Structure 1
Amino acid sequence: MEGTSVSLICSAAAPCPSLPPTLTWTPTLSDSVEDSQETPNQVITSILNFTASHVHHGEKISCTASYKRQAGKSDKSSKTYLTVTVLYSPKNTSVSVSPSSSVVEGSSVSLTCSSNANPAVGRYNWYRVNGEQVTTVGARRMLSVQVPADDSYFYCEASNDHGTENSSVIQLDGMYPPKNTSVSVSPSSSVVEGSSVTLTCSSNANPAVKSYNWYRVNGEQVAPVKSTRVLTVQVSPDNTQFYCEARNDHGLQKSAVFQLVVEGSSLTLTCSSNANPAVKTYNWYRVNESKMVPMESRSQSLVLQDISESGLFCCEAQNSYGKEMASIFVYLHHCPSTPTVIFRVYRYIRLSRGLKSVDDTYATLEISNVTSTYEVIQRKEHGSRGAQRETSGSDM
């Protein structure tokens, strides 16, 4: 048993007291070796003392007796062997991942728990770590898991009759294409016509976004502008529209279109949805400190007169089979000469199952002011997750 004190004794005949044999241990295992000679019995003895460790298990130890003979005669030797058996609890417990720990989200990987023990490991347990929570997820040597988008942490436990040992925690790093791609503007106030604003493209991706590209939208024409994360543009009265595209090795995503609009214009938000049966009710909300505050309008359109502050507006379309939501964020810029409104359209917020439709289910927001009409459709295939399609009309 590991930790036990062990003494190995090696004896050899010593028929010639004047030339006793030399006893040698291989390997020595420790510095504690005791030699003694028993003259009456003509025997020489050597004792090797050590503390048993798992590293000694299976070790082949030899004791060699070397005899020196009289001049003219060659020396002789005799050797004996012993294989050490040590019982010990699991050691060097570890986790291997196949394929590697960095894989595309949604794919499956196999985790294998390995440990050195005698007797062999009798029980394996798997645990998942989420913050301070530890959950048991399996009780076999191999565990198959689906890699999520967020980081996941696992470790295994190996046990036999002599003890238990845990592996170190391993991280499964889910790789995914850009998500939540959006545009922010700086400065966010006091912008006058002809001055410059800075547009910044942001996106969540793993590995990190490899390239950013900007595009200018003019009617139905879309032209590349620059390959950079930050774009500086001049504020002009022509309602020029921009959007950015984020890309890594696993895919790309485009932001919503970003447009400058004159402050004080009346914006008309129109909510549209394709459903069967047709949409029964429309509801409008304004988000205030993360709370959905209902608005008075219950019609398909919402008119915003003389906008004086920024805000996130949401429309909800509902029939007897479910509901779906779309949203838009209106940014307001104050300036003494030519006030402007800056707005950005966000992806719709999915609250429940999509509306039942013969074809597809989607919600739209149509935004109108005195100089232009702008429509954004966020589209998601019914019954599938993650599949989105963006379509823009009117000024696009």
Structure 2
Amino acid sequence: MKKGGEKLLESLFLFILATSVDGVQRFAELPTYTEVNPGEDALLKCRISDKKGVCSWQKDNKPVGIYRGKYEWANENSPSDCSLWVRGATLQLDDGQWQCQLTASNYDVQDALSSPPAALAVRVPPQAPRILFNGSHIMPGQNITVPAGSRATVVCEARYGNPPAYIEWYLEKERLSAWSQTNASEVERPRVWAARSVLELAASRSARGRQLACRAHHPSYPQPYYKDAFTMLDVTFVPVVSIQGADASTLANLEEGSSALTLECKAEGNPSPYVWWTKDGQVLATNGPMLILAPVARNHSGNYRCQARNSLGTSDAARIDIDVKYSPRVTWVGPDTVVEANLFSKVTLECRAEGNPPPEYQWFHNPSPTSHTRGIPEGEYPVSSSAHLELHNVTYNQHGRYYCVAVNQIGLEDRSHQSEAITLNVLGPPVGADAGAAHAWSGNEARVTATVCADPPPRRAAWLWGSLRLDVPSQIGRYRAIDPSGVDGCYRYSLLVSSAAVSDARVYVLHVENERGFSSHAVTLTVHETEHLAPLIASALVIAALLVVITCLVIRCCKRRRVKKPSSQRTRSTLTGKHHDPRPRPCRPTPE
């Protein structure tokens, strides 16, 4: 401000001189602001046009005499030059406001001159800048502690300098705009100045640990003509946490026994926070922010949270869900390993399994009583796709072994586990077809058979015809009842008749009993005579051949009548003017 005001007065003065009447003495060059280092010489310039009066100088409104070696005219031989050398400048003697003056050219001419004051500043390097916060001087190595989100007022001062230092602020390499800078004369040393700059700093988490620098510029400093004061920003804030170490793909494919998981609760906070983990609301005994699950187990599944706390407060929780997959395992099938059910009753079998993802179920039935090996044996087939298998109106066909298979999918692989077998025994009286038929050739052996199913197995059986009864096994003459062959709870009974004759053709009845009842099954035997068989076959072949020939002739006739009409008929239709009906007519035999 001081230098700017002097320049304004100087410009105004020169303007007045330029517009004055020729022949009147005036300033050709005015004194200007000048700086000089202590002990060096300073030249205060002042030149006059049409000079007729006597030059003199004043400092701080007091006249200054000419003393060789201290204050000397710059050019005594020049009639227009009033410039003054100040030799060996000192702050106490020479720093101040200087004016160049000129007496009037004559006592009756009012053209005396007096220049505006021009400062001669004898440079004094200020002390190194220092930073103040909350009224206290921040020593080297100390930090400024500020809560995040608040505004901090930081002061930088550079004292006892002449002229005042110019102060800048930097956050790392970023230049900041100061709120204000003021320069005030030192009370005990009025000729030197205290420069003071105030910075309003918005504290954010990102500013934590960054360097704040105050830089004082002054020409009397050694190169590079500035000095810095430093401090570090210690921005305090409530912790913020995040969980690192697992992406969505990893979490989706965790398998018991074969996967491992390491999670870190990354906590940012100042002061340094304390970190802890919880699982489903229960605090885990972990040592620090690391959570290591190696290998993962099914009981590791759950909702995990991590939090952090410092003196300013507690963070929000970071959450992660861990879902450990494991293969299915059948834990129970029932109601028992052996189930007995009455014929035509209802049976319910149940299967329970554990697994993640929850398993799906399939029931397989093996009617064969043979021993079972791991895997689905040959002959088994699926009968249900639910955990409960309901059999309504059970029959002997549904006896046998039932197996439950639990299946789930982990990644792209199917996993399964098979239960132990449940043996279903269907209890009831013998059951079979009510009627049957058998054929034999005359003179050959005839076989009359009937199949029944029963549980418990039949204890008695007999063939009945006419007034005869033949127990199984036994034989009467040409008739022999043999032991049945059993397959899957069903029994095939056979009655053999040797040298069968036409007289043996009749209805034979099989009577079967077990502990729960009895049943009877009729089988009609037909005996064919062999001497009549060849003529019958020959006649059938001849008749069939004739039918084929006749059919072919009829088809050929119909095609010809549809495609081509006789020429005489076409001519007759043209002459009579009658239109021919193009619709096909039914084929009739053509008379010879």
Greater relative CO (CA pairs within 8 A, separation 6+): 1
Instruction: Choose between structure 1 and 2: higher strand proportion.
Output: 1
Q: TM-score, normalised by structure 2?
A: 0.31
Instruction: Choose between structure 1 and 2: higher helix proportion.
Output: 2
Q: TM-score, normalised by structure 1?
A: 0.44
Find the structure with the greater CA-based Rg: 2
